[in-house]
Amino acid sequence: MTNDESYLPKVSVVVPVYNGEADLPELISCLLAQNYPAQAVEYLLVDNGSRDRTAAIIQTAIQEAASQKITLCYLQEDTIQSSYAARNAGIRAAKGEIIAFTDADCRPQPDWLELLLIPFAQASIGMVVGEIIALPGTTLLERHAERYQVLSQQHTLAHPFYPYGQTANLAIRRQIFEQVGLFRPYLTTGGDADLCWRLQQQTDWQLDFVPTAVVKHRHRSTLTEYARQWRRYGCSNRYLHELHSVELMRELTTPQYLHRLSRWLLKELPVNSIKAIANQTHPIDIIGTPIGLFGAWARAAGQREAQLPDEARQIAWLEDGE
């Protein structure tokens, strides 16, 4: 085991789930395969009002986990439809001193937890971020996301306001939630950045990054899913602007879109096509520009149209009920 045997904090892994029947079997297999000592971890799967077989799958998995002496729990958050409200329910039920987060469409690697927790041996570390890489994809959009590391934490850790980690791979000391509060339960996107920024603004806790603590993530495979993903990023921009006065993303004008497309058609497309044939570049680079522009358009639309609901400004607290 790579972890320091003298430092084995009790950890609670919180996973919000909404209609997760397609992803849950693989996720649960990944959780049960973790190298971290079973007696020091609990897995809390929080059903956020699912209408499929999510509950039945988790209940069956609880029996399998028990046979391996692994603690797997089924929780519910059916009052507020938000992954952050579901995470709050998990935090409130958690018994661990460290609370780690991942998502139903993620695949934590076997050494994920043990590597993610190592920095907490330092008393100054309050939050640890692991890396997110793509699961092997078959569609052009999946391969594009993999090629350009769309979900890599390196992007969010380089944010000009404050670095932050995405909740697909993030761990935080429980006592921090007592200091700065929980997630904003009515927020639908941007809640991970909001929480990480509150931590850095209001406390002296430090953040660390462990690129070897990996979860693999399933990328969007259709244009509809891809557009929805980038529109949500735009909504997040707007919400964080309202909550933290973060600068909004500069939108491309119609002439700028046309210029980029013209340059792609006349220069990038023929050049990259030749390079791809000669194995000098990845074939997905041939269409990288139009896919990127489509994402930029969807993100701009989300940023332009989003309106932060008043209730989304509320911060939940450990002692509060929801």
Please check whether residues 212 and 259 belong to one and the same domain.
no
5 in any annotated domain: no
pLDDT in tens, 138-149: 777 777 777 777
Q: Is the pLDDT of residue 276 over 80?
A: yes
**Are 307 and 277 contained in the same domain?**
yes
- Single residue among 193, 221, 249 that ends a domain in this structure: 221
Domain final residue pick, 166, 192, 221: 221
Average pLDDT over residues 207-227: 89
> Which of 118-122, 272-276, 299-303 is the least confident region?
272-276
The whole-chain average pLDDT of the chain stands at: 92
Residue 228 is assigned to a structural domain of this protein: no
pLDDT at 232: 92
Which of the residue ranges 67-76, 143-152, 213-222 has the most confident prediction, judged by mean pLDDT? 67-76
User: Given a cut of 60, is residue 321 above it in pLDDT?
Assistant: no
* Co-location of 81 and 166 in the same domain: yes
Say how many CA atoms lie within 13 Å of 195 toward its Cβ: 31
62 and 166, same domain (yes or no): yes
Q: Decide if pLDDT at 2 tops 50.
A: no
Residue whose entry in the numeric block shows the structure tokens 């680079």: 285
pLDDT at 4 over 60: no
Examine the domain organization and report whether 135 and 265 are in the same domain: no
The contacts of residue 105 (CB under 8 Å, 6+ apart) are 20, 23, 27, 217, 218
Per the structure, how many domains does the chain have?
Answer: 2
| Residue 129 within any structural domain of the chain | yes
40-66 pLDDT, tens digit per residue, is 999 999 999 999 999 999 999 999 999
Decide if pLDDT at 155 tops 80: yes
Q: Can you give the CATH number for the domain in which 182 is found?
A: 3.90.550.10
Residue 144 lies in a domain: yes
Claim to verify: residue 178 and residue 31 sit in the same structural domain: yes
Residue 284: the pLDDT is 81
Judge contact between 90 and 13, C-beta under 8 A.
no
Residue 181 lies in a domain: yes
pLDDT of residue 151: 83
Task: Give yes or no: residues 155 and 81 share one domain.
Answer: yes
Report the C-alpha gap between 162 and 150 in whole angstroms: 19
pTM of the model: 0.90
Same domain, 194 and 273: no
136 by Cβ neighbours in 10 Å (0-12 / 13-18 / 19+) ranks as exposed
Q: Tell me, yes or no, whether 143 lies in a domain.
A: yes
Confidence band for 320, pLDDT divided at 50, 70 and 90: low
User: What's the pLDDT at 1?
Assistant: 39
Tokens read off for 259: 């210029």
Task: Tell me whether residue 132 is in a domain.
Answer: yes
Sorting pLDDT into bands at 50, 70 and 90, what band is 310? very high
Length of the chain: 322
Within-domain flag for 227: no
Mean pLDDT is lowest, of 34-48, 74-88, 122-136, 142-156, for 142-156
Tell me the pLDDT tens digit for each residue of 187-205. Answer: 999 999 999 999 999 999 9
- The answer to whether the CB of 170 falls within 8 A of the CB of 128 is yes
- Is 242's pLDDT higher than 70? yes
Residues 66 and 132 in one domain: yes
* Beta strands at 125-134 and 98-101: parallel, antiparallel or unpaired: unpaired
Lowest model confidence (mean pLDDT) among 134-138, 261-265, 296-300: 134-138
Q: Is 77 exposed, middle or buried (0-12, 13-18, 19+ CB in 10 A)?
A: buried
Token pair 């994809």 is at which residue?
A: 137
Q: State the residue for tokens 């462990």.
A: 210
Among 80, 81, 100, residue whose Cα is nearest residue 90: 100
Sheet of 41-47: strands edge to edge?
Answer: 71-76, 41-47, 11-17, 98-101, 170-173, 125-134, 206-217, 106-108
Mean pLDDT along residues 168-172: 98
Position 318 pLDDT exceeds 80: yes
Domain enclosing residue 303, as ranges? 241-311
Kindly state whether residues 187 and 69 are assigned to the same domain.
Answer: yes
Do 254 and 214 reside in the same domain of the chain?
A: no
142-146, long-range: CB within 8 Å, 24+ apart, which pairs? 142/219, 142/220, 142/221, 143/284, 144/284, 144/287, 144/288, 144/291, 145/219, 145/220, 146/219
Q: Are residues 204 and 274 in the same domain?
A: no
pLDDT on residue 6: 64
Q: What is the pLDDT of residue 84?
A: 97
Q: For position 62, what pLDDT does the model report? A: 97
Alpha helices by DSSP H, the chain: 24-32, 54-67, 83-93, 112-117, 140-147, 153-157, 174-180, 191-202, 223-244, 254-263, 269-277, 288-305
